[in-house]
A and B are shown apart, each in its own frame.
Chain A
Amino acid sequence: MNRRWIDLISRAFTALTGLACATLVLAVAMILGHVAYHGWAGLSWKFLTTAPRNGMTEGGIFPAIFGTVFLVVLMTVAVVPLGVSTAIYLREYAHADSRWVQAVRMAIQNLAGVPAIVFGLFGLGFFIEFVGKGIDAAFFGGKLYFGQPAILWAALTLALLTLPTVVVSTEEALRVVPRGHREVAYSLGATRWQMVRRVVLPQAVDGILTGTILAVSRGVGEVAPILFTGAAFYLPFLPTRLNQQFMVMNYHVYVLATQSPDIDATLPLLYSTVLVLLLLTLTLNSAAIVIRSRLRRRMKGSK
């Protein structure tokens, strides 16, 4: 084939891949632009701080914001210690090539691929029906306290879902810590835990933070796992105890979009709620990307 033809075809195909790239960037921009355009007008301090009124066709989303924050805080308290210590085990304690370590890694990767709805089923079957009902039978004489959908069970279900995120980010950060630092700590007589606590962990803060932020973003976004484990259609009060149900932003979007008696009246509220949700997850993810790129740059520097 003629050299010029080859060049032409090469350019054409390169341009096609560029077009694919541009399409995706455009899609992201259009989604954000569309939601911002329609949601901005309804966004006000009052919208963020008042409860829904009149069959959820008026008012704000304060209970949903409150529930989201409550839920995500509980989830973080559960998942961060667990995820960080799993990563510490894999990097600092275990033999890198042992069967057990391979099995743990494989389990973490597989856990990341389990569909969110399956986590929802598990939350119902395990946390509510087994653990919750078990607690009720053991401590409350069978009265219904924990054997029902509740914010605690929803948070723990989400914690399992986000565990891989925290483990992977933390591990990546632990990998960056130079071997020499560990050897120096040992040579000064530090035990393994002292070395981890004083030398490795302080340097891994960025990675732990990245993992936590990504986990929170995921927790804010996922609906399917909390559908049967505690999310409420509408509540006239704010949840204050661990065994209460809760309103939450993402489920609120689903409810407003699919069960509204008057979709035209609800639509402005819906857009504003989606905008708040998007602003939250995108800010979190952007922060994670910035922190991670700082971490990666340091990794290149240390080589």
Chain B
Amino acid sequence: MSRRPASERLIETFIRLSAGVAIAALVMIFIFIGKEALPVLTSPKVREEAGLSKLFLPQPPAAGKPARFSWQPVSKVPKYSLLPLFVGTIKVTLVSLLFALPLALGAALFTSEFAAAWLKEIVKPVIELLAAIPSVVLGFLALIVTASYVQNVFGLDFRLNTLNAGMALALAVIPVVYTVAEDALSSVPNSFREGSIALGATSWQTAWRVVLPAAFPGIFAACVLGFGRAIGETMIVLMASGNAAVLSWNAGHPFRSLSATVAAELGEVVKGSPHYHVLFFIGVMLFIFTFLTNFAGQMFVTRLKEKLTGAR
């Protein structure tokens, strides 16, 4: 073995090292974004303007006025309340899931359980093509094309509203949910279906009472991963949300999300200012949050595989 040429050993070293890159990347992302976010917790100068209490508790806009939650980082007295951004993010995510989950799960059920083989061959790639549409294109369509239409149909006061942005966001979430759910349903062994049909169940009863429960961890994983995708998506929300940091749960109002705030403001911020550090702090939160949803999603997929293969 020791007589192998040096070039071969070099290549093998590269191969072994390359495997570490993914782990290193994750750790470095955390470190390098965390490093810029840390002054929010540690630097007295930054904390005075944008400490944790300023980010999460209501603050009076001026002396003597009642305390409020507001995000106005560029004003004489900068205000950094993250609450409007949280509400905006959660609001649009819920709206998008309201559209995405029934459509994606229904379509997954149809392609895996009811569709003829030839139909599946056509439908599945077409739905997967949704994933190929860049999010900036979906944002463009939501901003230019569907916004006025949605406003008129639902009689809303604002052209750029949460409902419209949520529907566009749903198109980005659907391929994620569909692919994972379809995978989970297809991995249920055929013997389950045959047994159920043999007992006299209809194909719908089989799908609903046998296949769906068997694939449940995978279906749940699909929902969780879709949720993570919706929280982190940036361009659609940046273009179609109106970017108004108002504290409102109304789906007819504009909003401002965490991700869009970073995208819109980081370009113009002074490096090292409290505002700059707060934007990285938002980045850390997005990172941790999507990390957790991904982790949970994977856990459920693994559980599904164990369940179906009988392995422990």
Mark A residues whose CB is within 8 Å of B.
6-7, 9-11, 13-14, 16-21, 23-25, 27-28, 31, 34-35, 81-82, 85-86, 88-90, 93-94, 100, 103-104, 106-122, 124-126, 130, 160, 163-164, 167, 191-194, 217, 220-224, 227-228, 250-251, 253-254, 257-258, 267, 270, 274, 277-278, 281-282, 284-286, 289
Contacts and interface: CB of A to CB of B under 8 A. Distances in A.
Which 8 pairs from chain A and chain B are nearest by CB? Answer: A115-B232, A20-B106, A221-B134, A10-B204, A285-B132, A113-B294, A17-B110, A10-B202
Given A223-B136, A267-B144, A274-B137, A117 B129 contact: no
Given A24-B174, A110-B295, A282 B234 contact: no
Given A113-B294, A121-B262, A107 B232 contact: no
Contacts of A163: 21-22, 25
A7 B8 CA distance: 65
Contacts of B113: 17
B183 to A, nearest CB: 13
A34 B141 contact: yes
B144 A254 contact: no
Nearest to B178: A24
B156 interface: no
9 contacts: A14-B207, A20-B105, A21-B107, A24-B126, A114-B29, A115-B290, A117-B286, A160-B25, A267-B144
Contact of A6 (B136, B137, B174, B202): B202
A227 to B, nearest CB: 6
Contact of B293 (A113, A270, A284, A285): A113
Contacts of B298: 106, 109-110
B13 to A, nearest CB: 10
Given A20-B103, A23-B103, A270-B140, A121 B33 contact: yes
Contacts of A17: 106-107, 109-110, 113-114
Contacts of A116: 135, 232, 234
Given A278-B134, A281-B132, 16 more contacts: A10-B203, A17-B107, A25-B126, A107-B22, A107-B23, A113-B225, A113-B229, A114-B290, A115-B259, A121-B33, A130-B32, A160-B25, A250-B136, A257-B144, A257-B239, A278-B137
B129 A104 contact: no
Interface in B138-182: 139-141, 143-145, 171, 174, 178
Interface in B101-121: 102-107, 109-111, 113-115
Given A17-B107, A117-B263, A122-B33, A104 B19 contact: yes
Contacts of B8: 191, 193-194
A19 B259 CA distance: 33
B203 A14 contact: yes
Contacts of B109: 17
B204 A14 contact: yes
Contacts of B130: 24, 27-28
B231 to A, nearest CB: 7
Interface string B209-251: 0000000000000000100110111110011000000000000
Contacts of A285: 128-129, 131-132
Contacts of A11: 204
B32 A277 contact: no
B188 to A, nearest CB: 16
Contact of A117 (B107, B115, B140, B262): B262
